[in-house]
Structure 1
């Protein structure tokens, strides 16, 4: 299945808010030349976590990192977090496994 077809199938299972998150991360990945996680279950889990954080806390915090409650520190883990570029360069993917080296 082509990536676009797979993402369309995934979208059918997401809420409207989760679809907004998926569109955001997809646009960012395209702009930066990154790939999105091809495992749709992993992608769905990260999208759901980011959406829950956005709705609960007002920002799409990385669901794989813990918020400290310190707004200045927590700003670093709003997706795309300040760590993602270095992680992708070093590991081929970010900590959440959302963005992969293109």
Structure 2
């Protein structure tokens, strides 16, 4: 567990703090052994995922390298290597759906 990640989560407002905490738990549970670090100002997971608390929501970002066009359409954003989904409340988090999306990201 990265202390900078802990500090980042702690300083978030509600509900972003709780959303990030839950998403982080899902990532760490779904991807045992994944390296968590604090990079570019946000929690970062081996270049595959990131979490960022914004004004009224949280983005969970996903690497789209190697994805089909259909797979890329599951996400928002215009990034060339990363796209995201927006989450506005804890009750919006469907753990099974998040796990499915985490597994769409291609292994190296």
Q: Pick the structure with more strand per residue.
A: 2
Q: TM-score range by the shorter chain?
A: 0.3 to 0.5
How high is the TM-score relative to the length of structure 2?
A: 0.42
Structure with a larger share of its residues in helix: 1
